[in-house]
Structure 1
Amino acid sequence: MLPEFSKEIKNHLLKPELTMAVITDVLADVYATSGTDLRKVIKGPDKRKVGRKVAMYLCQEILDARPVNITTFFNFGHGLSELD
């Protein structure tokens, strides 16, 4: 597939450089909030909580981010209870 391109270029074309910030910013648009709000800990019922969970899930699945990086990025004090 695409023999005229090197392996590095193919990888970049097929798997673009995504970051946790890009994922949260895109989902913030979907959930009508800001990327900063998605990274905040939310207590009680709130629609942003769903967007936050989706963002964490996509960071795990798409980016293969380590749980420690996710907890830091999403401002957890400790534990991974919200990832379950």
Structure 2
Amino acid sequence: MTEFLKYMIGSIYKILPLNDANNHAVKDYIDSISIQLVGALYTFPELTTNQKYVSIINSVNFLRKENFTKRQCKREVLRCTNILQKMIQE
């Protein structure tokens, strides 16, 4: 599971340059990340009760479904990557 969490740090962080470049594919990319995060709940069932992980899913799904500012995007991406780093260290 640690390798998956490390992989997700990089994947989520990649949202920032896509959004900063006003890349129109950013919503599709975020959708793909959401699919991976939710799919991991089947691969790693222990994540279903991990509030930190659920919080990451919530933030990514917000970015996926809502319009957001660059500031909101940066805040949520950095928050998610920090949570993932803490989960790895636990």
Same-fold call, TM > 0.5?
Answer: no
The structure with more radius of gyration: 1
Q: TM-score w.r.t. structure 1 length?
A: 0.38
